[in-house]
Every structure is written in structure tokens, then in C-alpha cells.
């Protein structure tokens, strides 16, 4: 191959990003790692006091004793459970929608825009609507469930349904997290867009060939569509997990006093510690690094498995 | 060749332009003489405040008036939409980076933690200020009291009543439920709250409620009425039979009588809208509630009542916003900042604040402009109640302790009825946030 | 996409319509609230119908606050940032996906790692840096980072896409004598139109809705974007929810238009396949 000048090298293309990476990410990361071993109220640099690994011990549930912060542990388990459920259901919904939309029929453009609308609308409106729909007393959801239960109760042996207690959804400690999972499923417009982008690149010839081989709808889906979609699945899964682990505003906006700590997300707790008085920036930095490690533990195996399974056009 | 040369020139020009855009401000920042202080030019003064668009308009008018009187000064209005948390975070970031505005409006609670970053402004304060406000912004430095902020506007808590709820209750019970009088007791308060709570349509679920459950800060008048206090002699004070009685009363209202709606009973309504819509008949609130109500149909009808008297007497909570001047300013700039603060204490500026109806002015002589007299007795009650108002307790690490108290309180009333008020108070006193906050005072 | 029977088509339409209705509820909700008086907006129980339609709310939005100015500010910030994000993240994505580069694995690991990093932690170091550059109070902290890679997410998106384009396309272009820049500009980017649109639209949305950064870095009211302006209809005592909804809807209109246009490009890219 011809020897290329520096201007043609990968570094030239990646330079702006690399500069950003170093100045906006690596240096601040080093700062926050350093601070995670200190106690600091963020009011002048002379108030930094070194505490060693004390912050990390507070976040390690097995370190025993009273030093563990039970709310941080609760926040982490809440967040991990939420991410696993919310992301997998969200991806399934997004894929179904993308498959439904990926056909040459009239009005698909309209539907696509409509499905994306929840994504565009301000979170205030969205949150208001959700607290109405899932209100245990007045909400549409429980009113519908009540009708279903009353109907079931008419059958012999099922009369227990007449007196069954309906879920408290957002207004109970146990119900608020599942409600948030549902809300995340509803907001599947983003991954849907990625799936659609991938679907549209599946060459028609592959389907034609499969059809000639006599493959049915399912076989075509599994042997043609899925392999072509696999990079998009991997992408959505990784991005979805990373973003879900950092859930913040929804939990912040949907708080009510009936939830106790049911909606205590990790980033919400971290934010309160870092930016509500008194600032505890050292502890917040340690929390961030723990979250970073937890996300890595979840995502890296997915990436490694993904490398083997995912179908790429580039083969070396 | 020519086109190539032009191309190079174009690139060069572009690079210079982008460089200037990127680093022009940087150069300006580090130029030895700050451009604002240039001799003969106008001095710029940064002034920051928080609030809604109404606060923005108020301060805009104050600044305009100030600039007319001081043509050599230009005031930059830095406005953060929102309250406590957001504004406070921004001020802290600015302290850290050394870019604190010359003058900032501060609420008392965050002020107490940051007092060391503000200059003494004792020279501005006159003897004609409301005493609560002055003590709110006085801190002890090296054994000497020092005024680190000038109170400009404040407010105390009173009881708001929605007469529509009384009418509906009278109709429901078949007897008149009269509005209380200002000398009511907590027992009468309880009876009225119960009478306002009922199930209109007989479906077994309450439809109208007596009281919007107050956060602990808004419940302080009751804590004091029962003779308890949050802080006693600089230490955590919520213990003993008075405190237990005060919080047992809270729980009775919330759970036993159910006079307070649970969040699910009112969907996404908040205190103000729950009251506005007549879903709840009573709420505890300050004068800042008035501008909102005055834009609704309830404008002419809502009633403001004094705080009920309890076994420990009668008291209500008052809080102040003050103007703080950044510490360590050069002399000239400090003088301009001080003159702006002094201007905000002038009679006519204090009247402007009073006329918004959202807070009491801090200047005694301006209080009359808040109390509009015969046309509206409600405003007069806030002025009158200053006589029995107590300054909000200056808890250390206020934000964190505030959240801890509310969290414990809600968990207690949401939870099993077997946990007594004494258990609740013991759990709260042992909370890490409370313990660490009071340790932090000892450390100082 | 192949062999859609009539009944099948009808079922698809029915399903899509049901989902569309669910997706539209909050939108209808906002429209109806934006046309109510304050009391009606909070009426209990709430209703979607409006008895007394108040179009004047939309006028009040502009009268109470300089909302037009906020819209313009948002447009300036968002356009500058989105351009930067698309240009620099696609370049980085190209380099990481297909170009020889020293330490490429390390850079890729850093890319993925930076995706996983909770952004709030970087707030304080960033603030100190921008303050020392004299950038606080200007739009630079909101725009410049977009020109330095435009977010790990976008780089990642481009990299994934570019990897899936067959190598022989590039070899053919190189044989024709194209430089890598020409290949990137005239072959790769047009091929990647759907991703360009996706990145542009998603990062536009991100910058349009961004709240925390403008709040931290801007102080002058006249420079505020829409996202901050919206919060001004909330007061300590209550929220002018009708005005808030009207303002939110005005703010969302440009986004809806961009989406319609964006989807058309999306479709055009698809037909060219």
C-alpha cells in the first residue's frame, strides 16, 4: 500500500475527539478519583481532608459494621434491578415497533413520528400524565383493572378477585419501581430509530434468496433479519444499560412521600450528596467510581460475547 | 496557484477568528486591569437572585431605579430560575471558582453555611429593621457579632382557609361549620380539620380533606405550640414529652383522622393547587402564596387566620432573604456594592417589595405598605403575626438535616402504627445526617 | 415487508393505531391544559375537554417573558453544537472503525469507558476549567465540547455503522485515487446519511432540552435558552401550569418539524440503498 501522509492517518481524523477525551474526560476523571479519597465540601481547596479508603468502605456492603451506608446500597440494588428489567423490555418493544414500521405502507411516516413524540415532549407533561394514569384511586389503569377483576369474580371459584387489592403503582414503595419500568418501555422511540436504521440496510436480495429457498416468515426473521440486526441489538443493549444505570430526572420528578426510598436511584442519591448542602464531593466521587465499576461489570461481558456473536460486514 | 494562496489566507483568517472567539474572553479575564474598574468608565456590579418571573420583574425595577440614581454604575442581573437547591449549588460553584457575584440574595438557611464568604455589612443596617431579620444574618466571628447580610424581605407562616370547603362541609353535615376566630386552639383546629374531611359520594373514599400535610418546616408553628423545639441551646432538641406530643398530633392528623390526603388521594396536586381547587380546606403557608392566589378565582375569598394556640402557647416561623456582599472585594467595588445594598433598604424600594405581596419588607416603616389596611385584612395579619414569630431554627448543615427529618417523618406515618412518637424521635436523633451535622458545630 | 396479506395489513394498522393513541395522550393533555384558565387546569378530577378556550395563554407566554429570545438563543446553541457533534464524532468514528492508528484498542477502551462514566462527577472539574478560561457566562462551555468529539455516544454510533460498511467500497475508491478525506466526505458520509440524521436529531434534542449545563454556565437572563425559560413559570408558591404547557408546546414545535424533515432524509437514504 502507498505510504500515506500524516494528514491521511487515523489520528488526524480522531484528533478533535482525542483532545476532548483528554481534556474533558481523562483529566477530570483523575481529579475525581483523587477526590474520592478525600472529604471535601467544595468551598476552597484548603478544606480538603484525606480519608483514605473510608468512602469505599461505606459502599462495600460486606465491610460489616455501622460504617456501611444502607441507602447507597439500596439505591444500587434498585438501579441494577431497574436497568435489567427496563432495558430488556424496552428493547423488545422497540424491535417489535421497528419491525411493524419497516414496511412500505401508507402512513408509516406519520406513525413513526407519533411514536417518537413521547421522546420529544417535555418531561413535565410526561410525568404529569403518568402520575394520573397510575393513580391508584382515579387512574385509568386501576379503573380498568377493577372492571376486569369484577368480571373474573363472576366465575365460580374466582370470587377472591372481587376484594383483591389493586397495586398502588407510583404511590407505594413496592409499586413505584415497576411503574417506572413500564414508563421506560413506553419511551422506546430512541432504540426504535436505531433498529429502523439497521433494518433499512438489510439488502432485499437476502430475503429474496431466502424466499427462493422456501424459508417461512420465522426462518427469514431468525436467519436473515436477526443477524443483520445484531449490531443494532448490541448497540442498543450496551447504550440502554449504561443510560438506565444513570437514570436521574424521572426519579427526581416522580418522587412523592408515599414511596419511602422505593424510587431512590443511585444517580439521584449521588446528586443529592454532591450538590445539595452540605456538598460531600469526596463521597460522591467514590460513589461515581463504584457505579462506573458496576456498569463495567455489566457491560464488558456483553461486549465480549457480542464480539463473537454479532455479524459485521467487515471481516479481517 | 492564486486560488491556493487565497485558500491558505482563508484558512488563516478562519483560524484567527475561531481563536479570537475561543480565547478572547480568556485574555480579557487575565488582563491586569479589570475592564470594569477602568477610570472614567462605568463600574459594573454583578447581582444575583433566584425565584420566579415575578421576582425577576421586581429586581429589574429595583436595578433600573438604582441605575437612574447612579449613572456611573451598571448592574448585571444574574437570575437563576428556581430556589434553594439549584441556586445554592450555583453560589457554591462560584465561591469555589472565585467568581461570586458582588451582591447576592441569600435565604437564611444556606447563608448560615456560607457566612464566612461574605463581608460585614453592619454599616448599612439601620435601627429601623425588623429585629428577626437582623438576627438571622448576624453571625459570631471571633466572639464578636457581625452582620454578614442585610435582610430585605421575609415571611412568616399563617393558616390559609378555603371558604368553599367550609360551605361544602356545612352542607354535608347539615349544620353550619363556621370559620374559626383568630384565638382558636389546636384542639379547635383539629375539630375543624376533621369536620372538613368527608366522603361526598359514599364510595368509602374521602373526597375532601381538612389539611394539607405540612413538611416539618411548615409544621414548626405546631411544634412550638406544643412547647417543643428543634434546637435547644445549640443542640438537637427534639426529645421529651412535649416533642412526643407535638409529633403524635401530626400522626393523628395524618393517619388516625385521615384529615390529610395521601399523595394518591390528590394525584399530582401540590399544596398550593390542592388548596386552590378546594380538595383541601386548610394549608399552612407564607405571604409568598398570595401573588399566586391573587391570579385565581379564589382571589377575593380565601381567608388568612392566625396560628392556633396550644399547651405551649402560640408561635410561628419567620424566615428572611438577605443581600450579601462578597468578601474580599477591592475598596471601590465594595463601596459600590454597599451602596446598592443600602439602596435596597430605602423606603421606596422596600415599598416595591411590599407591593408584590409575596414577602414582608424588612424596614419597619415600610410594613404599612404591605398591610394595605381596610381593603384587605389578610395582609395585615402577617404584619401582626410578626409579634409572635420566631426565627427558623438555625440547624447546622440545614439542607441535609431538613431532608433527613422529612424522610423519617414520612416513613413513620407511612409505616406501622406500633412505632411510637418516642421511637420515631429516637430514630431521627440517631440518623447519621443529624449526628454528623451537630458534630460539625462542635468541631468548629 | 414481503408478502403482506390484506388481513395482515389491517391488523398491523390496527395495532399501530392503538399504540399511537397511547403515545399521543400526553400530547393531547398538554394541548388541552395550555388552553385552560389556571383553575380549570387544576380542576378535580381533571378532564381533557376545555370549556372556556383561552388562546390568550399563548400570547401571555411571550408577554410575561422574552420567550422569543429564549427560542433564538436555543437555536444558536443547538445549531452550533450539533454541527460540531456530527462533524467530529463521524471523523472519530471513521478513524476508530477503519483506519490504522497507534493504540487504537486503548482509545476504543477509553471511548467505551467514558460512556460508562456518570457525567455528574465531571461537573466540578469542568466548571473550574471553564472558569479559569474565562468562559463562564458565555456559550462556549455549551458549544466547544460538541466540537471535541460530540459525546462518546455519537462516536460509538458512527463507529458501529462504519464498521458494517464493506471494506471493498473503500478499496475501490482508493484505487480511483481518492484521499481518505475525499472518501470520508464524498462516499462515507453520504452512505451514512441515516446515522448522520439520527446523530443530528438526537443531539439536537439533547442540546434543546439541556438544563443543568446552561444553568451552571449562564447567568445573564438574556442569554438563557428555552429549557431555562420554561422553569420561570414555576414560583415558590405554585406553577402557572397552563402557561407552562403552552410554552412547552411552542418549544416542541421546532423539534417536531426537524423530525419530519429528518425522517424524509432518512427515507431518501433508504431508497438510495
pLDDT digits (tens, 9 = 90+) for B100-150: 999 999 999 889 888 989 999 998 887 789 888 999 999 988 889 999 999
Task: Please report the pLDDT score of residue C272 as a whole number.
Answer: 46
Pick from B267, B399, B407: CB nearest A132: B267
Q: Is C31 on the interface with A (CB under 8 A)?
A: no
Inter-chain touch A20–C248, beta carbons under 8 Å: no
Q: Among A310-314, B313-317, B425-429, C12-16, whose mean pLDDT is lowest? A: A310-314
Residues in chain B: 444
Q: What pLDDT does A91 receive?
A: 96
> Comparing C-alpha atoms, which of A94, A128, A302 is closest to residue A198?
A94
Question: Residue A165: its pLDDT value, please?
Answer: 83
Q: Using an 8 Å CB-CB cutoff, list chain B residues near C136.
A: 97, 99
Last residue of a domain, one of B357, B373, B389: B389
CA distance A204 to A216: 15
Tens-digit pLDDT profile for residues C137-156: 899 999 999 999 888 889 98
Cα separation values, A294 from A290, B228, B263, C119, Å: 6, 46, 34, 15
Best of C42, C54, C237 to substitute, by most chain B Cβ atoms within 10 angstroms, is C237
Chain C: residues touching B (Cβ < 8 Å): 38-39, 42-44, 46, 64-65, 124, 127-128, 131-136, 138, 140, 144, 215-216, 219-221, 228-229, 231-241
Residue C1, exposed/middle/buried by CB under 10 A (0-12, 13-18, 19+)?
Answer: middle
**Within-domain flag for B120:** yes
B106 and B171 in a single domain? The answer is no
Question: What's the domain count of chain B?
Answer: 2
If phi > 0 it is left, if psi is from -120 to 50 it is alpha, else beta; for residue B420 that is: beta
Segment among A64-68, A239-243, A269-273, B394-398 with least mean pLDDT = A64-68
Using the predicted structure, report yes or no on whether residue C136 has a pLDDT greater than 50: yes
H-state helical runs in A201-275: 204-212, 217-220, 226-245, 249-253, 266-275
Nearest alpha-carbon partner for B325 in B147, B133, B76, B62: B147
Do B127 and B103 lie in a common domain?
Answer: yes
- Stretch among A81-85, A111-115, B183-187 having the lowest mean pLDDT: A111-115
Most confident among A179-188, B21-30, B90-99, B246-255 (mean pLDDT):
B246-255
What sign for the dihedral angle of Cα B97, C212, B83, C69? positive
| Residue/partner pairs of B436-439 with CB below 8 Å, 24 or more apart | B436/B397, B437/B395, B437/B396, B437/B397, B437/B400, B437/B401, B438/B235, B438/B236, B438/B396
Give me C225's grid cell. Answer: 435558552
Contact B92 A279 (CB under 8 A): yes
A167 DSSP 8-state letter = P
Mutation target for A interface from C148, C152, C202: give the one with most A CBs within 10 A: C148
B436 pLDDT exceeds 80?
Answer: yes
Three-state secondary-structure class, residue A172: coil
Q: What is the spatial distance between Cα B16 and Cα A65, in angstroms, rounded to a whole number?
A: 61
| pLDDT interval class at C238 (50, 70, 90) | low
Distance, CA of A228 to CA of A225 (rounded, Å): 5
* Pair (B150, B162) in one structural domain: no
Q: Which of the listed ranges A262-276, B298-312, C237-251 does the model predict with the highest average pLDDT?
A: B298-312
Strand duo B158-161 + B150-156: pairing: unpaired
Are residues B284 and B197 part of one domain? yes
Q: Are residues B180 and B287 in the same domain?
A: yes
Domains of chain C listed by start with CATH number: 1-64+234-273 (no CATH), 66-224 (1.10.3720.10)
Closest listed residue to residue A103, CA positions, set C192, C13, C164, C262: C13
Number of cross-chain residue pairs from A and B with Cβ atoms under 8 Å apart: 69
Backbone φ and ψ of C128, nearest 5°:
-65, -40
Q: With an 8 Å Cβ cutoff, are B96 and A138 in contact?
A: no
pLDDT in tens, B185-221: 999 999 999 999 999 888 888 989 999 999 999 999 9
* Residues of chain B found within 8 Å of residue C84, distances taken between Cβ atoms: none
**B162 and B289: one domain?**
yes
A91 interfaces chain C, CB cutoff of 8 Å: no
Q: Write out the H or E segment, with its range, that includes residue A91.
A: helix A70-101
Choose the closest CB to A194 out of C23, C101, C198.
C198
pLDDT tens, residue by residue, C61-120 = 888 888 899 999 999 999 999 999 999 999 999 999 988 888 888 999 899 888 888 777
* Cell numbers given for A271: 446528586
Chain C, window 43-62: residues with a beta carbon less than 8 angstroms from a chain A beta carbon:
45-46
Evaluate whether C248 touches A121 at the Cβ level (below 8 Å): yes
Instruction: Give the pLDDT confidence of B29-58 residue by residue, as tens digits.
Output: 777 554 444 445 688 899 999 988 788 889
Q: What distance in Å separates residue C134's CA from the closest CA in chain B?
A: 5
Q: Tell me the C-alpha distance between B306 and B383, whole Å.
A: 11
Residue pair B69/B342 in contact (Cβ under 8 Å)? The answer is no
The answer to whether B198 and B206 are in contact (CB under 8 A) is yes
Chain C residues in contact with A301 by the CB 8 A cut-off are none
User: Is residue C19 within 8 angstroms of chain A, CB to CB?
Assistant: yes
The winner for highest mean pLDDT among A76-85, A246-255, B287-296 is A76-85
Query: 3-class SS at C234?
Result: strand
Among candidate residues B381, B378, B386, the one with its CA nearest the CA of residue B151 = B386
B442 lies in some domain: no
On whether the CB atoms of residues C163 and A314 are closer than 8 A, the answer is yes
Provide φ and ψ at B399, rounded to 5°. Answer: -55, -45
Q: Is A10 on the interface with C (CB under 8 A)?
A: yes
Q: Which residues in B lie closer than 8 A to residue A258 (C-beta atoms)?
A: 262-264, 410, 414
Does some domain include residue B15? no
Range of the domain at B144: 41-155+319-389
B30 within a domain of the structure (yes/no) = no
In a domain, B7, yes or no: no
Asked if C96 and A14 count as a contact pair (C-beta separation under 8 A), the reply is yes
Q: Same domain, yes or no, for B292 and B177?
A: yes
Query: Across chain A, what does the average pLDDT equal?
Result: 85
Residues 6+ apart with CB under 8 A from B419: B412
Is B61 in the same domain as B134? yes
Distance between CA atoms of residues C257 and B429, nearest Å: 56
Q: Do C216 and B93 touch (CB under 8 A)?
A: yes
C116 → closest Cβ in A31, A117, A242: A242
| Closest residue to B263, CB basis, from A132, A257, A279 | A257
Indicate the SS3 state at residue C239: strand
Residue with cell 388568612: B304
State yes or no: ipTM above 0.95: no
Query: Which of B389, B410, B438 is at the close of a domain?
Result: B389
Tell me the HSE value of B41 on the side-chain side, using a 13 A CA sphere.
Answer: 10
> Residues with Cβ < 8 Å from A205, sequence gap 6 or more?
none
H or E element that contains C2: none
User: Quick check: A312 and C163 CB within 8 A?
Assistant: yes
C131 CB neighbours in chain B (<8 A) are 97-99
B-chain CB neighbours of A279 within 8 Å are 92
**B89 interaction partners in chain A (CB closer than 8 Å):** 275-276
The burial class, CB within 10 Å (0-12 / 13-18 / 19+), for A19 is: middle
How far apart are alpha carbons C16 and B38 in whole angstroms? 67
Distance CA B112, CA C109 (A): 46
Note whether B164 and B301 are same-domain residues: yes
Facing C232 at nearest CB: one of B81, B89, B98: B81
- 3-state SS of chain B? CHHHHHHHHHHHHHHHHHHHHHHHHHHHHHCCCCHHHCCCCCEEEEEEEEECHHHHHHHHHHHHHHHHHCCCEEEEEEEEEECHHHHHHHHHHHHHCCCCCCEEEEEHHHHHHHHHHECCCCCCCCCCECHHHHHHCEEEECCEEEECCEEEEEEECEEEECHHHHHHHHHHHCCCCCCCCCCCEHHHHHHHHHHCCECCCCCCCCCEEEECCCCHHHHHHHHHHCCCCCEECCEECCCCHHHHHHHHHHHHHHHHCCCCCCHHHCCCCCHHHHHHCCCEEEEEECHHHHHHHCCCCCCCCCEEECCCEECCECCEEEEEEEEEEECCCCHHHHHHHHHHHHHHCCHHHHHHHHHHCCCEECEHHHHHHHCCHHHCHHHHHHHHHHHHEEECCCCCCHHHHHHHHHHHHHHHHHCCCCCCHHHHHHHHHCCHHHHHHHHHHHHC
- The answer on B180 and B283 residing in a single domain is yes
User: How many angstroms separate the Cα of B125 from the Cα of each of B151, B179, B211, B386?
Assistant: 9, 41, 40, 19
Percent of chain B at pLDDT > 70 equals 95
Question: Is the same domain home to B202 and B340?
Answer: no
Q: How confident is the model at residue C240 (pLDDT cuts 50, 70, 90)?
A: confident
Q: Does C21 touch chain A (CB under 8 A)?
A: no
* Interacting residues of B154 by C-beta distance below 8 A, sequence separation 6+: B130, B132, B133, B318, B319, B320, B321, B359, B360, B362
Q: Is the pLDDT of residue C271 over 70?
A: no
Percent of chain C with pLDDT over 70: 92
CA neighbours within 13 Å on the CB side: how many for B8? 4
By CB atoms closer than 10 A (0-12, 13-18, 19+), residue A313 is middle
Single pTM value for the model: 0.87
3-class state of residue A93 by DSSP: helix
Which of B389, B408, B438 lies at the terminal end of a domain, its last residue? B389
**Per the CB < 8 Å rule, is B268 touching A131?**
yes
Residues B297, B175 within the same domain:
yes
Q: Find the CATH number of the domain harbouring B357.
A: 3.40.190.10
The dotted CATH code for A31-42+68-202+230-309 is: 1.10.3720.10
The DSSP call for residue A23 is: I
Angle in degrees, 0-180, between the axes of helices C152-163 and C67-98, rounded to the nearest 10: 40
* Cα distance between residue C9 and residue C46, in whole Å: 37
pLDDT-derived band at B383 (thresholds 50, 70, 90) equals very high
CB B44 within 8 A of CB B74: yes
Half-sphere exposure of C248 (CA within 13 A, CB side): 27
Nearest by Cα to B331 from B37, B20, B2: B37
A3: confidence class by pLDDT, cuts 50, 70, 90: low
Question: Where do we find the cell 424600594?
Answer: B349
Contacts with A, B 387-406, CB within 8 Å: 397-400, 403, 406
Q: Do B264 and A136 touch (CB under 8 A)?
A: yes
Structure-block grid coordinates of residue B418: 406500633
Which residues of chain C does B99 touch, with a Cβ-Cβ cutoff of 8 Å? 131, 136
Amino acid at each position: 500500500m502507498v505510504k500515506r501522509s500524516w494528514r491521511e492517518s487515523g489520528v488526524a481524523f480522531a484528533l478533535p475527539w482525542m483532545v476532548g477525551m483528554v481534556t474533558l474526560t481523562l483529566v477530570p476523571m483523575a481529579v475525581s478519583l483523587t477526590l474520592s479519597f478525600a472529604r471535601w465540601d467544595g468551598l476552597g481547596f484548603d478544606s480538603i481532608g484525606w480519608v483514605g479508603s473510608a468512602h469505599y468502605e461505606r459502599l462495600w456492603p460486606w465491610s460489616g459494621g455501622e460504617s456501611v451506608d444502607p441507602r447507597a446500597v439500596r439505591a444500587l440494588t434498585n438501579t441494577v434491578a431497574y436497568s435489567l428489567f427496563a432495558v430488556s423490555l424496552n428493547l423488545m418493544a422497540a424491535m417489535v415497533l421497528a419491525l411493524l414500521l419497516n414496511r412500505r405502507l401508507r402512513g408509516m411516516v406519520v406513525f413513526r413520528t407519533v411514536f417518537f413524540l413521547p421522546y420529544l415532549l417535555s418531561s413535565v407533561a410526561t410525568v404529569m400524565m403518568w402520575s394520573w394514569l397510575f393513580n391508584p384511586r382515579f387512574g385509568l389503569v386501576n379503573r380498568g383493572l377493577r372492571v376486569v377483576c369484577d368480571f373474573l369474580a363472576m366465575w365460580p371459584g374466582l370470587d377472591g378477585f372481587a376484594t383483591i387489592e389493586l397495586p398502588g403503582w407510583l404511590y407505594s414503595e413496592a409499586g413505584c419501581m415497576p411503574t417506572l419500568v413500564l414508563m421506560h418501555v413506553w419511551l422506546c422511540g430512541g432504540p426504535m430509530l436505531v433498529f429502523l436504521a439497521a433494518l433499512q440496510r438489510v439488502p432485499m436480495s437476502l430475503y429474496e434468496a431466502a424466499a427462493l429457498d422456501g424459508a417461512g416468515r420465522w426462518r427469514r426473521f431468525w436467519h436473515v433479519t436477526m443477524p443483520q440486526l445484531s449490531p443494532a441489538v448490541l448497540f442498543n443493549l450496551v447504550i440502554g444499560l449504561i443510560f438506565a444505570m444513570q437514570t436521574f430526572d424521572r426519579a427526581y420528578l416522580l418522587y412523592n412521600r408515599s414511596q419511602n426510598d422505593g424510587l431512590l436511584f443511585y444517580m439521584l442519591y449521588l446528586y443529592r450528596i454532591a450538590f445539595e448542602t452540605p456538598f460531600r464531593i469526596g463521597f460522591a466521587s467514590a460513589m461515581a467510581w463504584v457505579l462506573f465499576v458496576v456498569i463495567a461489570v455489566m457491560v464488558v461481558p456483553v461486549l465480549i460475547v457480542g464480539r463473537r456473536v454479532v455479524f459485521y460486514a467487515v471481516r479481517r | 496557484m492564486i486560488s491556493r494562496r487565497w485558500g491558505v489566507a482563508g484558512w488563516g483568517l478562519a483560524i484567527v477568528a475561531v481563536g479570537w472567539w475561543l480565547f478572547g474572553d480568556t485574555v480579557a479575564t487575565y488582563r491586569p486591569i479589570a475592564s470594569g474598574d477602568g477610570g472614567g468608565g462605568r463600574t459594573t456590579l454583578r447581582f444575583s437572585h433566584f425565584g420566579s418571573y415575578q421576582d425577576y420583574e421586581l429586581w429589574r425595577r429595583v436595578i433600573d431605579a438604582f441605575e437612574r440614581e447612579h449613572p456611573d454604575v451598571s448592574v448585571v442581573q444574574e437570575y437563576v430560575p428556581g430556589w434553594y437547591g439549584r441556586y445554592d449549588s450555583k453560589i457554591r460553584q462560584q465561591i469555589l471558582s472565585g467568581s461570586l457575584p458582588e451582591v447576592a440574595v441569600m435565604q437564611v438557611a444556606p447563608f448560615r453555611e456560607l457566612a464566612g464568604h461574605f463581608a460585614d455589612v453592619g454599616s448599612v443596617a439601620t435601627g429601623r429593621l425588623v429585629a428577626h431579620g437582623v438576627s438571622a444574618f448576624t453571625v459570631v466571628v471571633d466572639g464578636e457579632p457581625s452582620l454578614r447580610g442585610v435582610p430585605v424581605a421575609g415571611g412568616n407562616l399563617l393558616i390559609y382557609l378555603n371558604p368553599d370547603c367550609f360551605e361544602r362541609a356545612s352542607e354535608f353535615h347539615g349544620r353550619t361549620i363556621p370559620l374559626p376566630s383568630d384565638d382558636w386552639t389546636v384542639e379547635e383546629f383539629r375539630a375543624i380539620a376533621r369536620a372538613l374531611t368527608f366522603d361526598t359520594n359514599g364510595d368509602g373514599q374521602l373526597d375532601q380533606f381538612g389539611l394539607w400535610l405540612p413538611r416539618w418546616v411548615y409544621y414548626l408553628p405546631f411544634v412550638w405550640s406544643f412547647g417543643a423545639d428543634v434546637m435547644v441551646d445549640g443542640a438537637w432538641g427534639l426529645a421529651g414529652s412535649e416533642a412526643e406530643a407535638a409529633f403524635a398530633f401530626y400522626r393523628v392528623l395524618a393517619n388516625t383522622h385521615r384529615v390529610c390526603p395521601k399523595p394518591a388521594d390528590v394525584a399530582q396536586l401540590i399544596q398550593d393547587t390542592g388548596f386552590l381547587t378546594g380538595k383541601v380546606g386548610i394549608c399552612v403557608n407564607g405571604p409568598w402564596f398570595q401573588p399566586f392566589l391573587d391570579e385565581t378565582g379564589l382571589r377575593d375569598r380565601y381567608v388568612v387566620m392566625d396560628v392556633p394556640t396550644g399547651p405551649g402557647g402560640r408561635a410561628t416561623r419567620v424566615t428572611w432573604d438577605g443581600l450579601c456582599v462578597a468578601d474580599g472585594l477591592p475598596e471601590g467595588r465594595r463601596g459600590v456594592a454597599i451602596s446598592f445594598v443600602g439602596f435596597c433598604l430605602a423606603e421606596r424600594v422596600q415599598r416595591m417589595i411590599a407591593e408584590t405581596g409575596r414577602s414582608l419588607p424588612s424596614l419597619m416603616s415600610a410594613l404599612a405598605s404591605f398591610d394595605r389596611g381596610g381593603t384587605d385584612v389578610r395582609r395585615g395579619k402577617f404584619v401582626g403575626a410578626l409579634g409572635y414569630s420566631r426565627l427558623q431554627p438555625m440547624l447546622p448543615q440545614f439542607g441535609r438535616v431538613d431532608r433527613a427529618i422529612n424522610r423519617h417523618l414520612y416513613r413513620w406515618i407511612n409505616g406501622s402504627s406500633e412505632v411510637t412518637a418516642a421511637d420515631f424521635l429516637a430514630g431521627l436523633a440517631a440518623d447519621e445526617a443529624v449526628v454528623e451535622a451537630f458534630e460539625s458545630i462542635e468541631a468548629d | 415487508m414481503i408478502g403482506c396479506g390484506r388481513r395482515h395489513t389491517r391488523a398491523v394498522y390496527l395495532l399501530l393505531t392503538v399504540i399511537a393513541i397511547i403515545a399521543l395522550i400526553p400530547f393531547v393533555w398538554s394541548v388541552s391544559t395550555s388552553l385552560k384558565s389556571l383553575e380549570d387546569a387544576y380542576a378535580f378530577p381533571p378532564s381533557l375537554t376545555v370549556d372556556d378556550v383561552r388562546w390568550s395563554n399563548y400570547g401571555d407566554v411571550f408577554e410575561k417573558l422574552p420567550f422569543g429570545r429564549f427560542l433564538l438563543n436555543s437555536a444558536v446553541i443547538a445549531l452550533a453544537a450539533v454541527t460540531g457533534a456530527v462533524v467530529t464524532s463521524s471523523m472519530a468514528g471513521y478513524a476508530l472503525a477503519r483506519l490504522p492508528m497507534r493504540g487504537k484498542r486503548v482509545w476504543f477502551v477509553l471511548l467505551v469507558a467514558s460512556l460508562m462514566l456518570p457525567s455528574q462527577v465531571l461537573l466540578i472539574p469542568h466548571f473550574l476549567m471553564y472558569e479559569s478560561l474565562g468562559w463562564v457566562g458565555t456559550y462556549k462551555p455549551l458549544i466547544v465540547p460538541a466540537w471535541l468529539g460530540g459525546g462518546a455516544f455519537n462516536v460509538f454510533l458512527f463507529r458501529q455503522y462504519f464498521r458494517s460498511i464493506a471494506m471493498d467500497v473503500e478499496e475501490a475508491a482508493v484505487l480511483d485515487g481518492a484521499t481518505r478525506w475525499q472518501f470520508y466526505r464524498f462516499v462515507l458520509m453520504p452512505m451514512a446519511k441515516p446515522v448522520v440524521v439520527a446523530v443530528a436529531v438526537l443531539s439536537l434534542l439533547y442540546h434543546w432540552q439541556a438544563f443543568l449545563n446552561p444553568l451552571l454556565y449562564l447567568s445573564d437572563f438574556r442569554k438563557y435558552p428555552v429549557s431555562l425559560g420554561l422553569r420561570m413559570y414555576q414560583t415558590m408558591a405554585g406553577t402557572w401550569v397552563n402557561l407552562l404547557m403552552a410554552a412547552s408546546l411552542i418549544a416542541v414545535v421546532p423539534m417536531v418539524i426537524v423530525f419530519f424533515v429528518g425522517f424524509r432524509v432518512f427515507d431518501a437514504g433508504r431508497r438510495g440503498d
